[in-house]
């Protein structure tokens, strides 16, 4: 029987996606060739997710995801399965890696007809049945979902498109909470747009509140990073234009990127009310350097100047999907060891 106990302070987690095993590419090619039947494919992704859960437990994480492997990426599999969209060729296929190599889906009909974005509830049940640690579900928020969409045939602006997605996202959240999920991360990275961009702090707050207002029994954290397409950011790496307006969002906390920025702007957290959770992105997924426990302790102490340990999580600054698996395990094991030392030292 496991002797694990959830910590009272400094739980360790990730922002969602877990590192893929090295043999992923071989099986992905076989999958694309149609060599898997539905049962084979389900078994394959079950095994991927079991491995992700096992890796996280062995690395010492406290709040776990299933690795999000079934989604084939942060958002690629989700948008690729939505109704009312038509795939278009990526704008660019040659040359240096960039976000414009991602798939683009043209919106062909109103998105408020969609009842559900993705079967998050099945992912949650799979995870909950296979770990005694705290499960967390991440999901792209309204603006996040628009990342790969050319919505211009139906919507004038990104804000209109995001608002149309609110009912489906809200229903997915209600389904998760009904299934027992008590931690949901809404993901709103600062991704660019394929059509008219009008995102402001005020309308980001507006759509987030429409998604979560009136839903109880669940911790909501909003993840905002600067994107990571093949570990390259999409956006100017500053949060100053978002705060303090973002504090009007009716959520319990925020997951923000600090590790890749040498803790720049951590002072913004000092403006928050004391009960907000900071899920601090202290593990830099964009470098092959494996942080030591001492590195992470130094970063945590910078956070502790503005947030008490009971409202502070140690996390990654973005998903680990593109990080080699051995390196992800090394980084997160160091994070867990740093948390252990800090808890013991008080």
pLDDT tens by residue, 255-302: 999 999 999 999 999 999 999 999 999 999 999 999 999 999 999 999
Percentage of the chain surpassing pLDDT 90? 81
Kindly report, residue by residue over 190-220, the tens digit of the pLDDT.
988 888 789 999 999 999 999 999 999 999 9
Kindly report, residue by residue over 28-48, the tens digit of the pLDDT.
889 889 999 999 999 999 999
Position 60 in a domain: yes
CATH of the domain at 291: 3.20.20.210
Position 1 in a domain: no
Q: How far apart (Å, rounded) are the C-alpha atoms in residues 274 and 73?
A: 34
Q: Which residues contact 247 (CB under 8 A, 6 or more apart)?
A: 271, 272, 273, 276
Kindly report, residue by residue over 209-259, the tens digit of the pLDDT.
999 999 999 999 999 999 877 777 888 999 999 999 999 999 999 999 999
Which residue intervals of 135-253 are DSSP H helices? 142-145, 158-178, 201-212
Whether omega for the bond prior to residue 89 falls within 30 degrees of 0, making it cis, is no
Q: How far apart (Å, rounded) are the C-alpha atoms in residues 321 and 17?
A: 5
pTM of the model: 0.95
Position 16 in a domain: no
Position 212 in a domain: yes
Cα–chain center distance at 44: 22
Percentage of the chain surpassing pLDDT 70? 99
Q: How far apart (Å, rounded) are the C-alpha atoms in residues 185 and 175?
A: 15
| Residue 306 DSSP SS3 | coil
Position 18 in a domain: no
Position 61 in a domain: yes
Domains contained in the chain, number: 1
Would the pLDDT of 174 be above 60?
yes
What mean pLDDT is predicted for residues 306-333?
A: 97
Domain span holding position 121? 24-345
Q: Which residues contact 59 (CB under 8 A, 6 or more apart)?
A: 329, 332, 333, 335, 336
Position 13 in a domain: no
Does an H or E element contain 27, and which? Answer: helix 24-32
| Residue 174 DSSP SS3 | helix
What does the pLDDT read at residue 1? 47
Q: How far apart (Å, rounded) are the C-alpha atoms in residues 36 and 31?
A: 6
Phi, psi of 229 (to 5 degrees): -90, 110
**How would residue 69 be classed by pLDDT, with cut points 50, 70 and 90?**
very high
Q: How far apart (Å, rounded) are the C-alpha atoms in residues 131 and 269?
A: 32
More confident residue, 222 or 93: 222
Position 6 in a domain: no
């Amino acid at each position: 029987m496991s002797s694990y106990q959830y910590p009272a302070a400094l739980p360790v987690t990730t922002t969602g996606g877990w590192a893929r095993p090295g043999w992923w590419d071989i099986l992905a090619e076989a999958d694309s060739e149609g060599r898997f039947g539905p049962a084979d494919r389900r078994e394959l992704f079950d095994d991927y997710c079991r491995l992700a859960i096992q890796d996280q437990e062995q690395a010492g994480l406290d709040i776990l995801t299933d690795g999000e492997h079934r989604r084939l990426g942060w958002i690629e599999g989700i948008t690729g399965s939505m109704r009312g969209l038509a795939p278009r060729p990526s704008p660019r296929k040659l040359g240096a890696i960039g976000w414009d190599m991602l798939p683009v889906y043209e919106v062909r009909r109103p998105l408020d007809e969609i009842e559900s974005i993705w079967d998050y509830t099945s992912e949650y049940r799979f995870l909950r049945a296979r770990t005694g640690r705290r499960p967390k579900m991440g999901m792209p928020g309204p603006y996040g979902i628009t990342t790969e969409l050319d919505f211009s045939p139906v919507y004038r602006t990104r804000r209109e498109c995001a608002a149309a997605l609110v009912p489906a996202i809200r229903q997915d959240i209600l389904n998760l909470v009904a299934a027992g999920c008590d931690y949901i991360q809404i993901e709103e990275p600062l991704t660019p747009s394929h059509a008219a961009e009008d995102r402001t702090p005020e309308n980001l707050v507006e759509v987030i509140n429409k998604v979560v207002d009136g839903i109880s029994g669940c911790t909501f954290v909003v993840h905002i990073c600067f994107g990571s397409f093949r570990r390259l950011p999409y956006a100017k790496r500053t949060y100053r234009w978002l705060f303090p307006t973002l504090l009007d969002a009716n959520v319990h906390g925020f997951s923000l990127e600090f590790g890749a920025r040498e803790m720049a702007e951590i002072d913004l957290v000092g403006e928050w009310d004391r009960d907000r959770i900071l899920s601090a992105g202290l593990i830099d997924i964009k470098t092959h350097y494996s942080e030591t426990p001492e590195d992470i302790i130094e970063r945590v102490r910078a956070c502790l100047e503005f947030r008490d340990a009971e409202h502070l999580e140690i996390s990654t600054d973005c998903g680990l999907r593109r990080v080699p698996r051995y390196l992800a395990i090394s980084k997160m094991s160091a994070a867990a060891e740093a948390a252990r030392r800090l808890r013991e030292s008080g």
